[in-house]
């Protein structure tokens, strides 16, 4: 049976837009549809408007998911360097901000325009403000009941992302369709998200930021932490949120690995008459020291003189500073989460092509799959790599 399209990609986000020109290679009729008014909205707002489009240090260890090997193939066949080449060829200027994170010098819309130009060059079409109500599959043909009427195709690519930021049009659409076709979905949960604490816990510290090491049993990150009115945020907290589970504690090393014990012991000789709090303020933000003076008053007297502290007392204090154990009450949820952890189980997907192992012609790419990157450009790299894998497979079939 002849179909309207060779390939329909649902979702004009990073993965879907990137996949389309590869799938359309050789003139295969390809359509991208999205219910949003504009394509690539998350690209536009990402990285503070400059899009952290990849990370120079991308490697499989920078991703969470139930199968730590699944994403290796796609990442190896379209690497961060391949994406950087594209950006360079398009004349888009970029810079490394920190920790290998690459941002546009100008606006993130440059990336969207590049993806749209490639889509146009490949003669792929894009229909916005188009919804899909149901999908049927018979004799190798997918039929989409859409707001633009019934559409048929041989290859259907689900690229509708995760549930993060529903205000921007995020839905659980890919999960529902995956389940309809018999795929398992690992329970989605908000990730790269601020953690909340009982009201007012850190209100006095709102706006204070410092470098820390933060860890749970599963992961550890050395980055900045920010106190907010509602709890903790900043890169270190967003990172650990992907590994934290309700009811568990997180550990914060406020010294960020510095040997504060030796420093304070040495100062006990030269500055012994000073208060502990005065000395600590040399290493930690003054407002934090002020807060800890009250918060830890039952265990430590920060107003005491340094000279009066035994080695044991100093050790107890610095041990506590380097392992402040805190139990968040929750997270800010999908409202602000940058990504969704979990998603379509990788067991049912072929890692080279991103095609369903049980439904030929059905593909899953990008954030809807159970592959979640750390903060720092890894999630876009997954969108590019997985989109490329599916697109190439479709074109070569
Ligand atoms: P994406 O969400 O991009 O696209 C999905 C598309 O599907 C959307 O266009 C949506 O409208 C559409 N859609 C959804 N449901 C639909 C339905 N039912 N019918 C039709 N269409 C539907 N990552 C990174 O690497 N570097 C960064 O700097 C940032 N910064 C960042 C900031 C913020 C605020 C957020 C929220 C996220 C980031 N991210 C990021 C994460 C990154 O944006 C994300 O991982 C990718 O956009 C995922 O790409 P996808 O194409 O899979 O989904």
Question: pLDDT tens digit string along 230-250?
Answer: 999 999 999 999 999 999 999
CA end-to-end distance (rounded Å), the chain: 17
* Same-domain status, 240 and 154: no
If asked whether residues 12 and 154 sit together in one domain, one would say yes
CATH number at residue 9: 3.50.50.60
Q: Are residues 247 and 265 in the same domain?
A: no
Helix, strand or coil for residue 173? helix
- pLDDT bucket at 2, cuts 50 / 70 / 90: confident
Do 345 and 226 share a structural domain? no
Of ligand 1's listed atoms, the one at least distance from the Cα of 164 is 36
Average pLDDT, the chain: 97
Q: Are residues 174 and 206 in the same domain?
A: no
Mean pLDDT of 64-93: 98
Residue pointed to by tokens 């008014």: 37
Ligand 1 pocket, residue 12 CB under 6 Å: yes
Question: Same domain, yes or no, for 80 and 147?
Answer: yes
Contact 337, 164 (CB under 8 A): yes
Q: Does the beta carbon of 367 sit less than 6 angstroms from any atom of ligand 1?
A: yes
Distance in angstroms (rounded) separating the CA atoms of residues 41 and 345: 26
pLDDT at 1 over 90: no
d(CA 288, CA 233): 15
Same domain, 300 and 180: no
Does residue 14's CB lie within 6 angstroms of at least one atom of ligand 1? yes
| Residue (of 64, 118, 139, 24) closest to 340 by Cα position | 64
**C-alpha 315 – ligand 1 centre gap (Å):** 47
Residues 206, 265, single domain; the answer is no
Domain containing residue 265: CATH number: 1.10.8.260
Centre of ligand 1 from the C-alpha of residue 352, in Å: 22
Sequence-distant (6+) residues with CB within 8 A of 361 are 140, 142, 154, 155, 156, 355
CA–centroid distance, 13 to ligand 1, in Å, is 6
Token pair 């890919």: residue: 174
Instruction: Say if residue 114 is in the same domain as residue 138.
Output: yes
Strand partners, 339: 191
Tell me the pLDDT tens digit for each residue of 133-177: 999 999 999 999 999 999 999 999 999 999 999 999 899 999 999
Give, as one character, the DSSP assignment of residue 243: T
| Spacing, Cα 43 to ligand 1 middle (Å) | 7
Token readout for 152 is: 């048929």
Q: Phi, psi at residue 296, to the nearest 5°?
A: -105, 15
- For residues 373 and 382, give the distance between their C-alpha atoms in angstroms, rounded to a whole number: 7
Tokens at residue 121, please? 């060059």
CATH number at 233 reads 2.40.30.10
CB 291 within 8 A of CB 256: no
Domain span holding position 133: 4-190+336-396
């Amino acid at each position: 049976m002849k179909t309207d399209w060779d390939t329909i990609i649902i979702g004009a986000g990073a993965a879907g837009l990137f996949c389309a020109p590869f799938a359309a290679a050789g003139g295969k009729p390809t359509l991208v549809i999205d219910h949003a008014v504009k394509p690539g909205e998350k690209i536009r707002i990402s990285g503070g408007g400059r899009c952290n489009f990849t990370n120079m240090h991308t490697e499989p260890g920078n991703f969470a998911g139930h199968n730590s090997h699944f994403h290796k193939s796609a990442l190896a066949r379209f690497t961060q360097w391949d994406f950087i080449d594209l950006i360079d060829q398009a004349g888009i200027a970029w810079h490394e901000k920190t920790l290998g994170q690459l941002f546009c010098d100008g606006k993130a819309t440059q990336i969207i325009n590049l993806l749209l130009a490639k889509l146009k060059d490949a003669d792929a079409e894009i229909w916005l403000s188009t919804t899909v109500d149901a999908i049927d599959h018979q004799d190798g043909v997918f039929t989409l009941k859409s707001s633009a009427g019934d559409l048929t195709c041989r290859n259907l690519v689900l690229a509708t992302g995760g549930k993060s930021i529903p205000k921007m049009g995020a839905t659980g659409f890919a999960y529902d369709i995956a389940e309809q076709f018999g795929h398992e979905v690992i329970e989605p949960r908000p990730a790269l998200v601020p953690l909340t604490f009982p009201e007012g816990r850190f209100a006095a510290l709102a706006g204070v930021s410092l470098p820390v090491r933060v860890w749970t049993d599963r992961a550890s990150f050395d980055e900045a932490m920010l106190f907010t009115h509602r709890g903790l945020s900043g890169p270190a907290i967003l990172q650990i949120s992907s590994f934290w589970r309700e009811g568990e504690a997180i550990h914060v090393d406020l010294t960020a690995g510095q040997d504060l014990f030796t420093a304070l012991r040495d100062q006990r000789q030269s500055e012994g008459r000073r208060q502990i709090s005065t000395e600590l303020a040399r290493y930690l933000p003054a407002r934090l020291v002020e807060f800890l003076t009250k918060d830890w008053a039952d265990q430590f007297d920060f107003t005491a003189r340094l000279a009066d502290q035994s080695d044991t007392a100093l050790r107890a204090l610095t041990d506590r500073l380097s392992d402040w154990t805190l139990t968040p009450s929750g997270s800010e949820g999908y409202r602000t989460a940058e990504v969704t952890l979990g998603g379509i189980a990788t067991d049912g997907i072929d890692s080279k092509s991103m095609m369903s192992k049980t439904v030929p012609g059905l593909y899953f790419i990008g954030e809807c799959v159970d592959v979640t990157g750390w903060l720092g450009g890894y999630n876009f790299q997954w969108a590019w790599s997985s989109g490329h894998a599916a697109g190439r497979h479709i074109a070569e079939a």
